[in-house]
Amino acid sequence: MLSAREQFFNSDGGTPGIGLGIEIGESGTAKPGRGVYNSTTVPMTSASSWRNGHTNTTSTTTPTGAAPIAAAAAKQPPLEPVVEVEEDFNIDTNALSNLPPREPVDIEFKELSLTVKLGFKRGEKEILHNVCGKFPGSQLIAIMGPSGAGKSTLLDALSGFKTTGVDGSIRLNGRRRDLPSFRRMSCYITQDDRLQPLLTVTENMHIAADLKLGENVSYEEKESRIEDILLLLGLYDHDQTMTGRLSGGQRKRLSIAMELINNPTVMFLDEPTTGLDSSSCTKVLELLKRLTNQGRTIICTIHQPTAKLFQIFDQVYVLSSGNCVYQGGTQKLVPFLHSVDLPCPMYHNPADYIIELACGEYGFDKIDTLKSASENGNSLAWFNNPSAVLRSEALIHKYPIPKRSKNVSLENTSFMNQCTVLLRRGYIKSGRDTTMTHLRLFVNICVAVLYGAMYDHSGREGSRVLDNYNLLFAILMHHSMTTMMLTVLTFPLEMTILIKEHFNRWYSLKAYYTAMTLLEIPITFISTLLFTVIIYLWSYQPMEWVRFWMFFVISLLVVFVGQSFGLIIGAWCNVVNGTFLAPVLTIPMMMFAGFGVTLRDLPSYLKWGSHISHLRYGLEGYIAAIYGMNRGVLDCNEAPYCHYRYPKKFLEEITMSGDQFWNDLMALSIMLLLFRVSAYFVLKAKLKSIR
Ligand SMILES: Nc1ncnc2c1ncn2[C@@H]1O[C@H](COP(=O)(O)OP(=O)(O)OP(=O)(O)O)[C@@H](O)[C@H]1O
């Protein structure tokens, strides 16, 4: 039986599997435009058959040794990738010509390492070990490697998404990377498509255009750019589809479309093909390839591409446990492997083979061999055209010093514009959001009706004062918990979108936070007002406008405080931790409110607790609104004796004076302000900690 190496050299017709390590094509029967491409490619239409060994052969001469193989590979005509056109995805190449070309950016990194802290007393871990590399402009580059090799980490470091623990030099066109300028010319598309699901494709595109291009670009210009991009990405026919209903491939394309609006020069994509079928993968990569023709550098991480996908890339960078084991042209991978005496077996996809080697499946010594051969990414010998690769000095001479932007902020548009657009987006979302809007209104009405039925007449009846007290406490808990839990549960999803959009400079955190705060007001106002009207009337609370508004204002403040508290938790914790923490932290606040244990009976060393409990101020405020201001004698129709017929007596019993309304209002307002400001800083810290 022939060894893989022997098979490689002695295959039928003496054809070595140059390029992809396989023999393919119809010998002597090649028809123009289909069938045989060259000995480095697989026919697109027979990708599965070659995998099963049912391949035809192509006869070429048999070079021996790396140099002739490389030379043979270099002589191959440029690859002509074939696009299989999905029914719903037609690339309009004319549209591409309307996107202005970019000046290519060459990215070079040297001795790049990235270290993360593992936690208290657990030390540090180095993920990237002094890797080097060069990603020339106008190329589609794949960062490949086994799971955990450090692909995403390298992408994070190069894009500037991660800055903590990063060491080494990153150069752009030969000059040291200036991160703010680089961020202005690049974008990062995450693996999970963080899109607003309740907006249509066209709405998402318009919001992105308004945030990225601002007021200075006319509506017509934005519209025409959006049209071009949608045509280019095959999304034009789906422009009215809700993003949440798009297929995985369409969502991926929309993510790319939204970033293309301001025409970035460098695009980083984390696993753009994950979760897509092979046809969609090809189309997404084909599209990216076309975008590189206009000067863009596109860098993607990819797990283990099929041979068909692999050949779409210009260059590949392979990582193994944070080290570079290959950097060069995709067509040069097989010659490279051959040169280090690790030839790719016949009928084996070289992309699979290098990953197997990188995993250590053929022994860990092979990883060291590959690392030394590629000089941990320093070697340019296996680039498609090594002599054409410009060194830093040449690049510095070729490209002028980039102009410094006068604009100190990273965002392209003004704070006002960002707020206005975010408010517009928020209003569209709120109108369609079944959880945050419809369910919230529905729950408020249902709970008010339920409480109303349970505590009917309790507000005016002297024999039911304790019932009414329970009702006030139940209302307090309802207002505090519903908004808090809604925020804890929904904000982590919103947070992922915020991280992406904020990093891609769509808006500042200040603008986002301002818009979010303003958006919360109308829905909170309406739902609380509905609740208050129903419960106030049904439970026969005193029919005085002043008391009604006092009651409503306290309710409103409690809702806002609860929501802000939920925001602090939701911004910092994941859903599981948040769902645990929020109620657990609320229970002591409840105990300090004076319900269950009166404020008088609280142990002196725990008295401080009542001062920090927003529920205490809420309850005291309700009591002041309902029983304060010298309320008169209550009815006593339902019992022969009403112990609390005189509200003063009840106030004495619960050790509340009933005249603390303004203090309560002030305390709740201060707490609201403190929580709101804290939530902003927690969000800011969270965004920073990720980087
Ligand atoms: N903050 C961190 N703390 C500890 N280890 C980390 C941290 N971030 C990444 N790692 C580790 O670094 C290694 C590389 O992670 P990375 O996500 O870059 O791998 P990857 O090649 O992208 O993997 P995959 O293809 O599975 O996404 C992994 O072993 C991962 O566990």
Lowest mean pLDDT among 68-77, 459-468, 510-519, 657-666: 68-77
Res 208 pLDDT > 50: yes
Q: Which of 128, 151, 163, 318 to mutate to test the pocket of ligand 1 (most atoms within 8 A of CB)?
A: 151
The atom number, within ligand 1, closest to the CA of 319 reads: 21
pLDDT-based confidence at 656, cuts 50/70/90? confident
Res 517 pLDDT > 90: yes
Task: Please give the torsion angle defined by the CA atoms of residues 417, 420, 425 and 429, in that order, rounded to the nearest 10 degrees.
Answer: 160
Mean pLDDT within 81-106: 58
pLDDT-based confidence at 645, cuts 50/70/90? confident
In angstroms, the CA 687 to CA 691 distance is 7
The pLDDT of residue 205: 94
Res 311 pLDDT > 80: yes
418 CB under 6 A from ligand 1? no
Q: How far apart are the CA of 572 and the centre of ligand 1, in A?
A: 21
Q: How far apart are the CA of 154 and the centre of ligand 1, in A?
A: 10
The pLDDT of residue 424: 95
322 CB under 6 A from ligand 1? no
The pLDDT of residue 291: 84
Q: Which of 118, 120, 153 to mutate to test the pocket of ligand 1 (most atoms within 8 A of CB)?
A: 153
In angstroms, the CA 469 to CA 589 distance is 17
Mean pLDDT within 287-306: 87
pLDDT-based confidence at 408, cuts 50/70/90? low
Q: In what order do the strands lie in the sheet with 297-302?
A: 186-189, 266-269, 297-302, 140-144, 315-320, 323-329
Q: Whose CA is nearest to atom 28 of ligand 1?
A: 148
Q: Answer left, alpha or beta for residue 91, where phi above 0 means left and psi between -120 and 50 means alpha.
A: beta
Residue with tokens 């509340």: 656
Q: How far apart are the CA of 515 and the centre of ligand 1, in A?
A: 34
* Pair of tokens at residue 36: 């045989």
**Percent of the chain surpassing pLDDT 70:** 84
The pLDDT of residue 545: 94
pLDDT-based confidence at 407, cuts 50/70/90? low
3-class secondary-structure state, position 325: strand
Res 278 pLDDT > 70: yes
Res 462 pLDDT > 80: yes
Map 66-121 to HEC letters.
HHHHHHHHHHCCCCCCCCCCECCECCCHHHHHCCCCCCCCCEEEEEEEEEEECCCC
- Burial of residue 281, with CB atoms counted within 10 A of its CB: 0-12 exposed, 13-18 middle, 19 or more buried: buried
Res 207 pLDDT > 50: yes
pLDDT digits (tens, 9 = 90+) for 217-258: 888 888 988 988 888 888 888 989 999 999 888 888 899 889
654 CB under 6 A from ligand 1? no
Mean pLDDT within 467-482: 93
The atom number, within ligand 1, closest to the CA of 303 reads: 25
The atom number, within ligand 1, closest to the CA of 322 reads: 14
Name the nearest CA neighbour of 621 among 663, 581, 669.
663
* Pair of tokens at residue 16: 């070595």
- Burial of residue 504, with CB atoms counted within 10 A of its CB: 0-12 exposed, 13-18 middle, 19 or more buried: buried
In angstroms, the CA 201 to CA 209 distance is 12
Res 161 pLDDT > 60: yes
Q: How far apart are the CA of 148 and the centre of ligand 1, in A?
A: 5
Q: Whose CA is nearest to atom 6 of ligand 1?
A: 116
Res 632 pLDDT > 60: yes
Domain 108-194+264-398 part of CATH 3.40.50.300: yes
Mean pLDDT within 420-447: 92
The pLDDT of residue 193: 80
Q: Whose CA is nearest to atom 1 of ligand 1?
A: 116
* Pair of tokens at residue 685: 């810290």
Report angle CA 448, 454, 460 to the nearest 5 degrees.
90
The pLDDT of residue 611: 85
Which runs of consecutive H residues, i.e. helices, occur in 539-646?
545-572, 575-591, 607-612, 614-627
- 685: β partners: none
Identity of the residue numbered 336: F
Mean pLDDT within 667-678: 96
Task: Please give the torsion angle defined by the CA atoms of residues 498, 502, 503 and 509, in that order, rounded to the nearest 10 degrees.
Answer: -110
For residues 144 and 83, the model is more confident at: 144
Mean pLDDT within 265-281: 84
pLDDT-based confidence at 68, cuts 50/70/90? very low
150 CB under 6 A from ligand 1? yes
Residue with tokens 């023999």: 23
The atom number, within ligand 1, closest to the CA of 154 reads: 18
> In angstroms, what CA-CA distances link 614 with 43, 239, 580, 586, 672?
69, 47, 20, 10, 9
* Pair of tokens at residue 123: 């030390």
Mean pLDDT within 292-321: 90
The atom number, within ligand 1, closest to the CA of 191 reads: 27
Name the nearest CA neighbour of 420 among 512, 336, 348, 551.
512
The pairing of strands 266-269 and 186-189 is parallel
pLDDT digits (tens, 9 = 90+) for 527-553: 999 999 999 999 999 999 999 999 999
Mean pLDDT within 118-135: 89
Res 54 pLDDT > 50: no
Calculate the average pLDDT of the chain: 82
The pLDDT of residue 402: 67
Domain boundaries, the chain: 4-75, 108-194+264-398, 195-263, 415-690
Q: How far apart are the CA of 496 and the centre of ligand 1, in A?
A: 18
For residues 99 and 618, the model is more confident at: 618
Q: Whose CA is nearest to atom 24 of ligand 1?
A: 147
Res 523 pLDDT > 70: yes
CA 55 from centre of chain: 43
136, 164 Cβ separation under 8 angstroms: no
187, 160 Cβ separation under 8 angstroms: no
Q: How far apart are the CA of 274 and the centre of ligand 1, in A?
A: 17
Mean pLDDT within 97-112: 80
- 109: β partners: 133, 170
pLDDT digits (tens, 9 = 90+) for 363-398: 888 899 999 998 998 888 898 887 777 777 777 777
Map 214-256 to HEC letters.
CCCCCHHHHHHHHHHHHHHCCCHHHCCCEHHHCCHHHHHHHHH
3-class secondary-structure state, position 186: strand
Q: How far apart are the CA of 304 and the centre of ligand 1, in A?
A: 17
125 CB under 6 A from ligand 1? yes
Lowest mean pLDDT among 78-87, 325-334, 600-609: 78-87
Cβ–Cβ contacts within 10 Å for residue 615, how many? 25
146 CB under 6 A from ligand 1? no
The pLDDT of residue 636: 87
Q: How far apart are the CA of 149 and the centre of ligand 1, in A?
A: 7
Residue with tokens 């519903």: 482
Identity of the residue numbered 331: Q
129 CB under 6 A from ligand 1? no
Res 146 pLDDT > 80: yes
